[in-house]
Amino acid sequence: MTFDRARDLIRDVPDFPSPGILFKDITPILGDAAAFRSIIDGMKARLEGTGVQRIIAIESRGFLFGAALADRMGLPLSPVRKLGKLPYKTDRIEYALEYGTGTLEAHIDAVHPGEKVVVVDDLLATGGTAWAAGQLVQKQGGSVGAYLFVVELTFLKGRERLTKGGAPVESLILY
Ligand code: AMP
């Protein structure tokens, strides 16, 4: 399966959200029904044989792909969000950002004990965000069966960081 159509749609936005960052804007994929469907089909295919039982989607672009994938696969979905956004009781994890730290939260009942999940986001850069989401999953007694991304920035080596935990890393479009 190739994702040429989707790859061609991804838009480079220089210096967003801060100087020196080349932002990969995936919104044109959402605006093209065939490309979006091919991405969700591809994500589903990558999960065949993993036995994952739940989708964990990371705020905010991870929600767009995670929700469509959950519906396509008939799997439950739990959001992982930035601090202060979730209304009910939460578990938290603090993680290192380029400057300072960030905190991710999940509702205390986001993952059931013993459940095998897939962590979904739009893009893998350094891997810090997905790693933190994986830590939250484990804190709740679950395990990560796979990390799944639409785009991977290979030169940032996030994959190395995530595979150290033992879970496979899948991405559809590599730069
Ligand atoms: P990281 O924790 O470094 O892997 O960063 C991943 C998170 O930041 C994801 O939620 C991405 O959506 C976002 N992100 C990081 N770098 C970029 C980029 N160059 N273009 C678009 N999104 C990015």
pLDDT single digits (tens) 128-166 = 999 999 999 999 999 999 999 999 999 999 999 999 989
134 near 161, Cβ under 8 Å? Answer: no
User: What is the pLDDT, as a whole number, of residue 87?
Assistant: 98
Best substitution site from 16, 59, 123, 154 to test ligand 1's pocket, by max atoms within 8 Å of Cβ? 123
Compute the chain's Rg from CA coordinates.
15
pLDDT attached to residue 44: 98
Cα 128 to Cα 35: distance, rounded to the nearest angstrom: 28
Which residue minimizes the CA distance to atom 3 of ligand 1? 126
Q: pLDDT per residue over 74-91, tens digit each?
A: 999 999 999 999 999 999
Ligand 1, residues 97, 129, 163: which to mutate, most atoms within 8 A of Cβ? Answer: 129
Strand, coil or helix: 73: helix
Q: What is the C-alpha end-to-end distance of the chain, expressed in Å?
A: 17
On whether the CB atoms of residues 47 and 148 are closer than 8 A, the answer is yes
pLDDT digits 0-9 by tens, 14-68:
999 999 999 999 999 999 999 999 999 999 999 999 999 999 999 999 999 999 9
Confidence of residue 98 (pLDDT cuts 50, 70, 90): confident
Q: Is 98 known to be catalytic?
A: yes
pTM of the predicted protein model: 0.98
What is the dotted CATH code of the domain comprising 51-174?
A: 3.40.50.2020
Beta bridge partners, 92, equal: 105
User: Among candidates 115, 110, 126, which has minimal Cα distance to 162?
Assistant: 126
pLDDT at 107 over 90: yes
Nearest CA residue ID for atom 16, ligand 1: 125
Task: Return the amino acid letter for 121.
Answer: D
Domain ranges of the chain: 51-174
Give the distance between the most distant pair of CA atoms in the chain.
43
Query: What is the pLDDT at residue 63?
Result: 98
Catalytic option among 46, 54, 61, 159: 61
Respond yes or no: is residue 105 known to be catalytic: no
Q: The tokens of 155 are what?
A: 């030169």
- Reply yes or no on whether the pLDDT at 167 is more than 90: yes
